[in-house]
Chains A and B, each alone.
Chain A
Amino acid sequence: MHTLDLTIADISKIEGKASCDIKVREGNVEEVKFTIAEYKRFYTQAIRGKDVVALPQLTARICGTCSNAHLLCAIKAVENALKLQPTLQTILLRKLLNFGLIIRDHGLHLYVFVLPDIFGKDSILDFDVQNSLEHKYLDDTFAVKAAGNNLSIVVGGRSVHAPFATVGGFTRLPLHEELQKSLAELQATRPRILDLIKLFFEKDTTLIIDDLDFAAVVDSEYSFLYGNLIRSDGESVDSEKYGEYLEHVVIPYSHASGYRFDGNVYMVGALARLNLAKQYLHPKTKESTKKYLEVFPSKNIFHNNLAQAIEILHAVDSSIDILKNLRVLPEKPLPIKRQEGTGIGVIEAPRGALYYKLEVDASGKIKTGRIVVPTGQNQISIEGSIRKFLEKNIANIDSKEKIEYEVERIVRAYDPCMSCASHFLKIHWK
Chain B
Amino acid sequence: MRDSIQKKLRVGWFSFSCCEDSTILFTELLNEHYKEWLPRIEFCSAIVLQKKSEIKNLDVAFIEGAITSKKQEEQLLLIRKEAKKLVAIGACACVGMPSMQRNLFPEELKKEIEELIIRFQYAERVKKVSDVVPVDANVPGCPMDEKVFVSVLDTYLKEFGIVG
Name A's B-contacting residues (CB within 8 A): 10, 12-13, 15-17, 38-42, 45-46, 48, 58, 61-65, 67, 104, 108, 112, 116, 122-129, 138, 142-143, 145-146, 149, 158-161, 255, 408, 419, 425, 427, 429
Q: Interface with A: B27-35, B80-88, B128-136, B151-159, which one?
A: B27-35
- Contact yes or no, B49 A46, CB < 8 A: no
**A contact patch SS:** loop
With A125-B49, A145-B28, A429-B119 already in contact, the answer to whether A161 and B109 are too (CB < 8 A) is no
Chain B residues within an 8 Å CB radius of A161: 21, 142-143
| B115 located at the interface, meaning its Cβ lies under 8 Å from any Cβ of chain A in the complex | yes
Q: Chain A residues with Cβ under 8 A from B53's Cβ?
A: 10
Pairs A–B under 8 Å by Cβ, sample size 18: A13-B50, A40-B116, A41-B99, A46-B102, A61-B98, A61-B142, A63-B19, A64-B18, A64-B22, A104-B28, A122-B50, A122-B52, A125-B50, A128-B3, A138-B34, A145-B27, A149-B28, A419-B18
CA distance A151 to B52 in the complex (A): 33
- Write out the residue numbers on chain B whose beta carbons fall within 8 Å of the beta carbon of A149: 28, 31
Complex Cα–Cα for A124 and B142 (A): 27
8 Å CB interface, B98-128 against A:
98-99, 101-102, 105, 109, 112-113, 115-116, 119-120, 122
A-B pairs, 8 with minimum CB distance: A64-B21, A123-B50, A146-B31, A39-B68, A64-B20, A142-B31, A12-B51, A64-B19
B69 & A67 in contact (Cβ 8 Å cutoff): no
In the assembled complex, B43 has its CB within 8 A of some CB on chain A:
yes
Contact present for B50 and A142 (CB under 8 Å): no
**CA A116 – CA B50 in complex, angstroms?**
9
Verify B2–A425 contact, CB threshold 8 A.
no
- Complex CA distance for A427 and B25, rounded to whole angstroms: 34
Which residue of B43, B102, B142 contacts A42 across the interface (Cβ within 8 Å)? B102
Which among A40, A142, A160 is the interface contact of B25 at CB below 8 angstroms?
A160
Which residues of B are found within 8 Å of A41, using beta-carbon distances?
17-19, 98-99, 101-102
A160 to B20, CA, bound (A): 10
Q: Which among B1, B22, B31, B112 is the interface contact of A125 at CB below 8 angstroms?
A: B1
Interface residue B138 (Cβ < 8 Å from any Cβ of A): no
Give A255 to B34 CA distance when docked, in angstroms.
35
How far is A425 from B116 in the complex, measured between Cα atoms in Å?
9
Chain B, Cβ-Cβ closest to A425? B116
Chain B residues in 8 Å Cβ range of A116: 50
CB-CB under 8 A for A255 and B120, given A127-B1, A145-B27, A160-B21: yes
Contact of A142 among B34, B48, B113, B122 (CB under 8 A): B34
Q: Roughly how many angstroms separate A123 CA and B31 CA in the complex, as a whole number?
A: 15
**Residues in A whose Cβ lies below 8 Å from that of B49:** 13, 112, 123-125
Q: How far is the CA of A104 from the CA of B21 in the complex (A)?
A: 13
Closest beta carbon of chain A to B122's beta carbon, Å = 6
Q: Please, which residue of chain B has its CB at the minimum distance from the CB of A10?
A: B47
Tell me whether B116 and A126 are in contact (CB under 8 A).
no
Report if A123-B21 is in contact (Cβ < 8 Å); known contacts: A41-B102, A145-B27: no
Q: Which chain A residues border B68 with CB–CB below 8 Å?
A: 39
Contacts of B21 in A (CB 8 A): 61, 64-65, 67, 160-161
Q: Decide: A42 and B19 in contact? CB cutoff 8 A.
A: no
* B19 and A112 contacting across the interface, CB-CB below 8 Å: no
CB neighbours (8 Å) of B163 from chain A are none
B43 touches A125 (CB 8 A): yes
List chain B residues, Cβ under 8 A from A145.
27-28, 31
Residues of B within 8 A of A63 (CB): 19-20
Complex interface bits, B1-39 against A, C-beta within 8 A gives 1, otherwise 0:
111000000000001011111111101101110100010
Chain B residues whose CB sits within 8 angstroms of the CB of A12 once the complex forms: 47-48, 50-51
- The distance from the CB of A110 to the nearest CB of chain B, in whole angstroms, is 13
Q: Are A39 and B102 within 8 A (Cβ)?
A: no
A414 to B10 alpha-carbon distance, docked (Å) = 32
Chain A residues contacting B51 (CB-CB under 8 Å) are 12-13, 122-123, 408
Determine the chain A residues whose CB is within 8 A of the CB of B20 once the complex forms.
15-16, 63-65, 419
Alpha-carbon distance A106/B105, docked complex (angstroms): 36
Complex Cα–Cα for A58 and B99 (A):
11
With A64-B23, A126-B2 as given contacts, are A46 and B38 in contact (CB-CB < 8 Å)? no
Given A42-B102, A160-B143, check contact A123 B52 (CB 8 Å). yes
* Chain A residue at minimum C-beta to C-beta distance from B22: A64
CB distance from B164 to the nearest CB of A (A): 23
List chain A residues, Cβ under 8 A from B50: 12-13, 116, 122-123, 125-126
Distance A124 CA – B34 CA, assembled complex (angstroms):
11
